Every structure is written in structure tokens, then in C-alpha cells.
Amino acid sequence: MKPEGKVAIVTGAASGLGLETARTLARAGARVVALDRDAARLEQLESGIGAQVLTRTVDVADEASVEAAIEAAVRAFGAVHIAVNCAGVVDAAKTVSRGTPFPLATWNKVISINLTGTFNVIRLAALRMSTNEPDPETGERGVIVNTASCAASQGQVGQAAYSASKAGVIGLTLPAARDLAPLAIRVVSIAPGVFATPMIAGMPANVQASLFERTLLYPARPGDASEFGALVRHIVENPYLNATTIDLDGGARMPAR
């Protein structure tokens, strides 16, 4: 599916991988519906891209919030063809630390945003995509791209909730693709490694340096968000990619801490 002239929803679009994905798809000619909880940063994105972007403040785990955003997309642009799930949080805690168990509220927050939020967008976007006319070149009605993580199988200390949520994203990819195949909708996930995003930038410098030294293979640098955006575009454009998770990590392997 060529992005040009298509309508793409991107969650987590105010920063990091979601921001660059929104920009990449807009440069490819898509009309972008950028969703995030950060209204101020969304305004900056809108001013940077222009009339081909619509922004909405959205809680991805809330059914009504996502439904309203999708309806706004259809009112503004007429359809939804592409959905990219980049919204996520990395709140960490040890299972037991200093006599205190992992806070259940933290667990619920991470699972709610990273896993439930991803599936919420998948199901509601797919419903709308199912009404599309098939693409004249490929026959597709829609493409959904999710963000997993190398932490799904290489979780570090304190990442029980985050790793579980991302493993869940990988786990739902195949059954969702099977469910949606009769509707000509593809589902693919990306499992990024260490990327230069605000999540990484928020770590202390010594923690970043240690992480890079012990984790990265080649290239010996964090991934750039533009590389993630480029893979999203390729997935959208390559009709034979479906029901799989693609590692985008430069061969990195995560240490325990």
C-alpha cells in the first residue's frame, strides 16, 4: 500500500518513534492523524507538518477516547488505511525491593497503555478499515503496525511489567493477523532495541554509557528514530509482510541490568 493519499493514525506521535513515524508518513504523502496525551507537543507537530495532519489528545486504553479520534479522522480525511501503535511507557520497579512488592498500580498502568492500548487501537482501527474499498494495486484494506521491544524476550531488572506488555504485543500479532486476513488487513510488529528517544535521554549519562557499551553490537550506537520510521514505511509499502515481528536492534543483546 502506497502511503500517498492514504490516512494514517499514529499513536504516541508527540515524541520519539511516534513523532518520526508521523513525519515519515507525512513526507510520503499520507494524511496523518497524530494521537498522544501531550497536547502541547502535538501542537508543535501540527505546526511543523501543516494541513495534512490532524492532532487529538487521546488515552489509547480508553475505548471512547480512541473511538472519538477515529471518527474525527474519518470526518476530516474520509477513511483510515494505516494505524501505527507507538504509545508506550517504561515505568520500572523490581518484583520485590527493600521489603516492598512491585506496585500493582504501576503494573496496571504499563499493561493498560502498552498492551491494552495497542489492542484497543487495533480493534477499532480495523473495524473502520474493514469498510474501505480494496487498494486497486494490492487489494489491501488496511495495514496495522505495532511497537513491541527487544525487552519482550530480554527484559532487564525492573522490567517485569514492561517486558510482559511487549511480549503481549508480539503474542497478539499472529492471531490478530489471522483474524483480519479475510478483511485484507495486515498486522506486523516491530521490536526495536536501544533507540535515541526521550525514554533513553531521561536516563543518567552514566547509565546510558553503560547500556550502550554492554548492549550494542553493530552499529555501535543507538538506533535513530528515522530508521524506525523508514521500517514502518517499508512495512506499509510491502504487501507480503504480515503476521510477524521484525527485530530492529542492530544485533543488540540486553544485559540483566
Catalytic residues: 162
CA gap 238, 236 in Å, rounded:
6
Contact residues for 18 (Cβ-Cβ < 8 A; gap 6+): 10, 11, 12, 34, 36, 84, 86, 87
Alpha helices in 134-188 (DSSP H): 151-154, 160-180
CB-based burial label for 173 (10 Å; 0-12, 13-18, 19+): buried
Report in angstroms the alpha-carbon separations of 140 from 62, 75, 143, 145: 28, 22, 8, 14
Q: Is the peptide bond before 101 cis (omega within 30 degrees of 0)?
A: no
Task: List the grid coordinates of 111.
Answer: 499493561
Give the pairing of strands 53-57 and 82-85.
Answer: unpaired
